[in-house]
Amino acid sequence: MDASPIITLIAVVKHFGRFAALRGVSAEFASGRLYTILGDNGAGKTTLLRVLAGLAHPTSGGVSILGTTELRSVCQELGYMAHPSLLYDEMSGMENLRYFGHLYGIKDDSRCAANMTAVGLDAALTRPVAQYSQGMRQRLSLARALLNDPKLLLLDEPFSNVDGGSAREMVTLLCRMRSAGKTIFVVTHQTYLLEGVADEFVRMKAGQITNRTRELRPVETR
């Protein structure tokens, strides 16, 4: 495992109008680890992920990923799964992955099919995503985020509306990716799924990182 930081945040502040979603977040995150970000609604978890993904620009402060502050230059190495599915409802799973593959220069159908299989979906499924269950959409959304084989994976609520068995399969997949050297950030309220799996639990409150531990607190395991 490489212990050098893959992400460095220096006093990152993000305002939406008068509301401060992030209030001076400073932290370093090592590569090849699985981080779970915890916190109440409005704590700034999603905003932090969006800043890391380059979707939100910090009002002040600095973000360095893979040794550069030019986040656009490392977007090829980044996978992002948001709370919404980021999928076209009118297209099938394979059609979606084929299109998003093109955005990364991937024109290989077998890679799209392999990604669908990896998340437990059938690549031969021809029905549109609109007819998928919420759990299937989440899994396809994860497959989309994994498509470019990213070094850094940012997952916002990947287990929401996913049944227990499928969620555990997703956790196993994330463990395999971590073992392969990927750095993974998971924002979730279902912390029990990552107990004993995540390398670190990062707690956020009111736009700040308040605490980082290797273990969950007993109250958080439910």
Partner 1 sequence: MNKSSGVAYRVPSGVTGATLAKDLRLEWRSKDALNSMLFFSLLVVVVFSFSFDPNAEESRQIAGGLVWVAFLFAAVVALNQTWARELRNHVLDAYRVSPAPANSLFLAKALGNFIFVAVLEILMTPLFIMFYKLRPLGPAWQLIPVAALGTWALVVNGTFFAAISLRTRSREIMLPLLLFPVSIPALLAMVNATTAILTGQLSARFWIVLLTTYDVVFTIACLLLFELVLNAE
- Site residues (vs partner 1, CB under 8 A): 8, 10, 53-57, 62, 64-70, 72-78, 80, 82, 84-91, 95, 99-100, 102-105, 107, 144, 148
CB of 79 to partner 1, least distance (A): 8
In the bound state with partner 1, the residue whose beta carbon lies nearer, of 49 and 216, is 49
CB of 23 to partner 1, least distance (A): 18
In the bound state with partner 1, the residue whose beta carbon lies nearer, of 129 and 194, is 129
In the bound state with partner 1, the residue whose beta carbon lies nearer, of 28 and 195, is 28
In the bound state with partner 1, the residue whose beta carbon lies nearer, of 84 and 218, is 84
For every residue of 178-199, DSSP letters joined together read HHTT-EEEEE-S-GGGGTTT-S
- Rounded to the nearest 10°, the torsion over CA 218, 212, 210, 158 is -80
Find residue 200's DSSP bridge partners.
35
CB of 72 to partner 1, least distance (A): 7
Helix ranges (H only) for the chain are 45-53, 93-103, 109-118, 134-146, 164-179
Nearest-angstrom CA–CA distance, 195 and 120: 22
CB of 101 to partner 1, least distance (A): 9
CB of 24 to partner 1, least distance (A): 16
In the bound state with partner 1, the residue whose beta carbon lies nearer, of 36 and 92, is 92
CB of 131 to partner 1, least distance (A): 13
Nearest-angstrom CA–CA distance, 147 and 152: 12
Residue 129, both tokens: 């995503």
CA distances from 110 to 94, 97, 163, 185 (A): 10, 11, 27, 27
Residue 82, both tokens: 């948001």
Residue 71, both tokens: 């986040």
In the bound state with partner 1, the residue whose beta carbon lies nearer, of 107 and 217, is 107
